[in-house]
Structure 1
Amino acid sequence: MTARRGFTLVEVLVAVLIMAVIAAMGWQGVSGMVKAREVGAEASGRTLRLSAVLGQWEQDLGAIYDSSVVPGIQFDGTALRLVRRSDNGVQVVVWAVRDGRWQRWPGAVVQRNTALREAWVESQLLAGVEPGQLTVLAGVTGWQLYFWRGQGWSNAQSSGDEVAVNEPAANPSPPASGASAPGAAASAPGEAASAPAPAPTATTRTRSLLPTGVRLQLDLPEGRITRDVMLPPTP
């Protein structure tokens, strides 16, 4: 009768080692698949977010409002300020790149010229931490804007086409009957009345016309993105 022979310790250790190697290889493959899926999902989410942000960018430029009160659009290298139409008036919107973050700040909707001037001044004092500041995209390493003027693209910070704007002087309320005009000296009895103060005159200033289009160059870790938007015709 033949004796039954079992596995030696060396054979068991070799088998265990082979199984460990196979398991490690399998785990690396699974881990690589999981990481690839995470990277793909992150890239897909970032692409969708970028698409939504650029959609908002185009909406703001497509609703731009040109007025003689404040510039319709202005770029200082860091922030782009523009005035856009809204349902109940107009609002100042600021797009800016600060510390690798692309931000959008929408001002309050206003209906009066005085409020629009105040909103424009407020937009020039933003530091990027105010309530309402929304970081629309992170990881932005830089950006540059160009305006289409005439027959080509030019730096958005360069001066554009200027046009003269006449601002009528405010007409003071007429003095009450028998009252002297403001600023007029009283005449002593028997003396000729002094000449009335000269009427205020209108003032003239210049402002830049809206460009025809805006080119955005956005520097991201994935590369540079360029987007051209044509502005609506000025009514």
Structure 2
Amino acid sequence: MTARLAASNAARLRARVRGFTLIELLVALAAMALMAGLSWRGLDGMVRAQSQIQQRADAVLTLQAGLTQWSADLDALMQLPQTQTLDWDGRGLRIVRRSTVQPGDGVLVVAWARRNVNGKDQWLRWQSPPQFSRSELQTAWARAAQWAQNPGDAEKRDEVRITPLEQWQIFYFRGNAWTNPLSSDNTSQPAPNTAPPVPADLALPDGVRLVLTLPAGEAINGIITRDWVRPALAGAKS
């Protein structure tokens, strides 16, 4: 009796320590592989989503910085006697602005344009060194036009890329209306017995409207409109 009981206990013990069969191992490995694949797809999706969110955040910050700089350039716009300080030629916008770093630091010539860079159209900004004489200012003004039209390596060194750009438009606010700066009727007729008007190429508009078309497929796309009104203009309309 005792021998039979001992044999029965030994059999049960051998049954307990019996290893997995080959089929059971294969099934377990297949289940683990499936779970690992699903987990990898989930992690990959999370990484992609995080990367897209980061790209969009970077694009938003860059565009905001560009638009802030655009407004700052116009806020610092100077009006000089018999000197053109704002010009749109259909390709680029040139601005003569004061330096906001320290008084007496001279004036700056900045320009904004759209140009193809490495196969992609970009919104660009160019800035000259400080200018301290009329001749230096005229030279920088001409360099800004050259940069907007057909820049050389020297002009490109002073440019900054802002954002991919499909197209852009500029409008001036004059005579209580937004008009094309290149149109022939962009200035109002003077009233009788008044002083001669300022030439059209020297008169500053009451406001400037910027219309950007951002390309599809980018983190930010669509049309953005930004209106600027001369700070000294009281009761201006936009």
Instruction: State the TM-score, normalizing by the size of structure 1.
Output: 0.74
Q: 1:138 aligns with which of 143, 146, 163?
A: 163
After TM superposition, give the deviation of residue 49 of structure 1 in Å: 1.4
Q: 1:34 aligns with which of 47, 68, 89?
A: 47
After TM superposition, give the deviation of residue 61 of structure 1 in Å: 0.3
Q: 1:103 aligns with which of 106, 120, 124?
A: 124
In structure 2, C-alpha distance between the alignment counterparts of 1:226 and 1:47, rounded to whole Å: 15
Quickly say closer, same or farther: Cα 1:60–1:69, change in 2 above 3 A.
same
After TM superposition, give the deviation of residue 144 of structure 1 in Å: 1.1
| Aligned: 1:231 with 2:225 | no
What is aligned with 1:55? 68
Q: Hey, which of these two has a bigger chunk of helix by percent?
A: 2
In structure 2, C-alpha distance between the alignment counterparts of 1:22 and 1:157, rounded to whole Å: 65
Contact 1:70 1:117 survives alignment (8 Å):
no
After TM superposition, give the deviation of residue 147 of structure 1 in Å: 1.1
Quickly say closer, same or farther: Cα 1:76–1:224, change in 2 above 3 A.
same
Contact 1:71 1:207 survives alignment (8 Å):
no
Contact 1:145 1:217 survives alignment (8 Å):
yes
Quickly say closer, same or farther: Cα 1:162–1:123, change in 2 above 3 A.
farther
The one-letter code of the counterpart of 1:211 is P
Contact 1:80 1:94 survives alignment (8 Å):
yes
In structure 1, C-alpha distance between the alignment counterparts of 2:48 and 2:189, rounded to whole Å: 58
Quickly say closer, same or farther: Cα 1:139–1:131, change in 2 above 3 A.
closer
What is aligned with 1:125? 146
Quickly say closer, same or farther: Cα 1:162–1:105, change in 2 above 3 A.
farther
Task: Classify the secondary structure of the residue corresponding to 1:206.
Answer: coil
Contact 1:104 1:135 survives alignment (8 Å):
yes
After TM superposition, give the deviation of residue 162 of structure 1 in Å: 7.1
The one-letter code of the counterpart of 1:97 is R
What is aligned with 1:188? none
Contact 1:83 1:91 survives alignment (8 Å):
yes
Contact 1:162 1:206 survives alignment (8 Å):
no
Q: What is the 5 A alignment of 1:71-82?
A: 71-82=84-95
Task: Show structure 1 runs of 5+ residues with no match.
Answer: 165-203
Say what the alpha-carbon RMSD is for the aligned residues. Answer: 2.5
After TM superposition, give the deviation of residue 109 of structure 1 in Å: 2.1
Quickly say closer, same or farther: Cα 1:72–1:162, change in 2 above 3 A.
farther
In structure 1, C-alpha distance between the alignment counterparts of 2:135 and 2:200, rounded to whole Å: 18
After TM superposition, give the deviation of residue 66 of structure 1 in Å: 1.9
The one-letter code of the counterpart of 2:93 is L
Q: Hey, which of these two has a bigger chunk of strand by percent?
A: 1
After TM superposition, give the deviation of residue 133 of structure 1 in Å: 2.5
After TM superposition, give the deviation of residue 19 of structure 1 in Å: 1.0
Identical-residue share of aligned pairs (%): 36
The one-letter code of the counterpart of 2:114 is V
What is aligned with 2:108? 91
Query: Segments of 4+ in structure 1 off by > 6 A?
Result: none
Quickly say closer, same or farther: Cα 1:96–1:233, change in 2 above 3 A.
same
Contact 1:101 1:135 survives alignment (8 Å):
no
